[in-house]
Amino acid sequence: MILEITSPQNPRIKDVIRLRDRRGRQRQQRFIIDGLRELERACNASISIEAIYFNLDACQSTLPQEILSQCELDGTELIKVSERVMEKLSYGQRQLSMIAVARTPAPHELVNLDVTSDSLIIILEAIEKPGNLGAIVRTADASGVCAVIVAEGSADIYNPNAIRSSCGAIFHMPVIHAELDSLQSWLKTYNFQTLATRVDGAISYTDANYSGPTAVVMGTEATGLSSAWHNDNSTAINIPMLGVGDSLNVSTSCAVVCFEALRQRSQS
């Protein structure tokens, strides 16, 4: 049976709107998925979808009905909403035809990450913007990276902007929070070489060797990397800049370096 809600003041609608806020997500242990592609990829990753709020009048494809039918078979609650309610749920986003509410899965743990002789990982230090995190996860998924590790900082993995920027790849890519000390100890245990991206890096990113277990470390545009990555176990690399700027957006830098790693590894 499909429930129908027509009032934006309905308590259930208010609960969903609270999931736009990080505090609301933490309290409810749930998060929002905006968009059909993202929802489809969440389902393929076995994310627990609790409910779907939909307005088919706003949709221009047959895909929503297919997703709704499959989710209903999987036990997901389906809730048809009015256009006014969908506008309220969208909360400044593009006009959506479907919004899902999912249960926050158990976090990935560093100790459970499978490491091979050619593992490539991305380490993000103090990355806060959800859009950057999502774009980096999308790049990681496309370039053969096995995990994204968030060192320090408080990146919000299930922020709607992170999910949307990742195009749903965030449901398939392990994103792991780790304390800096335990992370560096883990890197030594598995003999990772560390390539730290720095404006004053000693060599160009194209001259680095990406073979073997490799960790690419990225910092923020404002402060760069901390002194924790100034050690004998790290090689500082740079991306040559020909214009007036001295750095790229962190997600763009990540894409440049990761696809160079992919290029080298594809030729070996």
Average per-residue pLDDT for the chain: 90
Of residues 213, 218, 209, 217, the one with CA closest to residue 193: 213
Residues 184 and 134 grouped into a single domain: yes
Q: Which domain holds residue 255?
A: 110-267
Residues 68 and 29 grouped into a single domain: yes
Residues 116 and 164 grouped into a single domain: yes
Q: 158-162, 220-224, 261-265 — which is least confidently predicted?
A: 220-224
Choosing from 103, 123, 144, the residue where a domain stops is 103
Residue 60 confidence (pLDDT) above 60:
no
Residues 12 and 74 grouped into a single domain: yes
Residue 90 confidence (pLDDT) above 60:
yes
Q: In Å, what is the CA distance from 192 to each residue of 8, 55, 61, 203, 213?
A: 52, 49, 46, 19, 5
CATH at residue 87: 3.30.1330.30
Residues 27 and 143 grouped into a single domain: no
pLDDT in tens, 158-179: 999 999 999 999 999 999 999 9
The alpha carbon of 155 is separated from its chain's Cα centroid by a whole number of angstroms, namely 9
Residues 120 and 249 grouped into a single domain: yes
- Cα gap 83→97, rounded to integer Å: 9
Residue 102 confidence (pLDDT) above 80:
yes
Domain count along the chain: 2
**What's the average model confidence in pLDDT over 111-128?**
93
Q: In Å, what is the CA distance from 59 to each residue of 55, 63, 149, 253?
A: 7, 9, 36, 36
**What's the average model confidence in pLDDT over 178-198?**
94
Residues 32 and 134 grouped into a single domain: no
Residues 39 and 157 grouped into a single domain: no
pLDDT (0 to 100) of residue 222: 67
pLDDT (0 to 100) of residue 61: 57
Phi-psi region of 92 (alpha: psi -120 to 50; beta: other; left: phi over 0): left
Choosing from 44, 71, 103, the residue where a domain stops is 103
pLDDT in tens, 19-40: 999 999 999 999 999 988 899 9
CATH at residue 183: 3.40.1280.10
Q: Are 237 and 261 in contact (CB under 8 A)?
A: no
- Cα gap 100→98, rounded to integer Å: 7
pLDDT (0 to 100) of residue 63: 58
pLDDT (0 to 100) of residue 14: 96
Choosing from 103, 129, 161, the residue where a domain stops is 103
